[in-house]
Amino acid sequence: MTVTAQVSAEVLETHRVRLTGYCYRMLGSAECEDAVQETFIRALRHADRFDPGRAQLSTWLHRIATNVCLDLLRGARRRALAVDLGPAATSGDLGAPLPPQVFLEPMPDSRVLADPAEEVAGRESVRLAFLSALQTLPPRQRAVLILREVLAFTARETAEIVETSEAAANSALQRARATLAARPLAPAEVRDESDPAQRDLLDRYVAAFQSHDVAELVQLLRTDAASSMPPFAWWLSGGAQIAAVMTSSDACAGDRLVPIAVNGTTGLGQYRPDDGGVLRPFAILALELRAGQVAHIITFLGSQERFAEFGLPARL
């Protein structure tokens, strides 16, 4: 097979999901898909530079993708979750929205998880809480950590991808590990469709939300649960307070929730009736579950245009 044939558009397409997952972990936003497209453009433009005797095609493509991501991250502020930006709110006043680039953005599992054999580890690595921790790392350390500990590249391959020495790559990995160890993540359950307890919890949550059942919501939410609504920095802490705010008005009256797979965890597409009573896309929700209860609810306001990415219809 010629080099040109190895770098054809058809061959590159087989690497799309793995590269999208890498770029998403680097960038924390849906901009990852533009980054992959730019990676393919550069790969096709410079196909003659690929030497199969020196590296695997996957290694070469990740090197290009790394450079694309580093270019995009140059001068960019780190993306975060609302819970990272300040203390919990004490009232229902949302305040002014922040620019969208302040926050991490959700992604459907189907776009970023390529290998079913490693789904559990893969789902852990696209949890929004993990992505928020990754964002605290300098971009090159972030790349090294993802390449070594998520994508399982060797030390030599990683050094080649980030264009440094093996010793420097190993040093970056140790520094990245130390930074993350200083802010350990709270455990959370990855999505498991075969788990009846998860399915029951989700069914109960959907029913309680749609019926404004405060008592049931309090039972389903952890006492230390958090709830946020990007693009607002506002967030709430405490299951009872969250349930009270969720049911304090008729804003969600008639809304319906549809389960989806988002960021390795359970998610929901929230539909709201328009003036004619037709249920239209309103928001994407990501839920983190812990020990049989809901630990974190992130409602991504303004995500209506992305419903199709999650396999959701334009109306119910």
pLDDT tens by residue, 259-310:
999 999 999 999 999 999 999 999 999 999 999 999 999 999 999 999 999 9
For the segment 14-39, the average pLDDT, to the nearest whole number, is 97
Three-state SS across the chain? CCHHHHCCHHHHHCCHHHHHHHHHHHHCCCCHHHHHHHHHHHHHHCHHHCCCCCCCHHHHHHHHHHHHHHHHHCCCCCCECHHHCCCCCCCCCCCCCCCHHHECCCCEHHHHCCCHHHHHHHHHCCCHHHHHHHCCCCHHHHHHHHHHHHCCCCHHHHHHHCCCCHHHHHHHHHHHHHHHHCCCCCCCECCCCCCHHHHHHHHHHHHHHHHCCHHHHHHHEEEEEEEECCCCCCEEECHHHHHHHHCCCCCCCCCEEEEEEECCEEEEEEEEECCCCCEEEEEEEEEEEECCEEEEEEEEECCHHHHHHHCCCCCC
The pTM assigned to this predicted structure is 0.93
pLDDT tens by residue, 54-89:
889 999 999 999 999 999 999 888 999 999 999 999
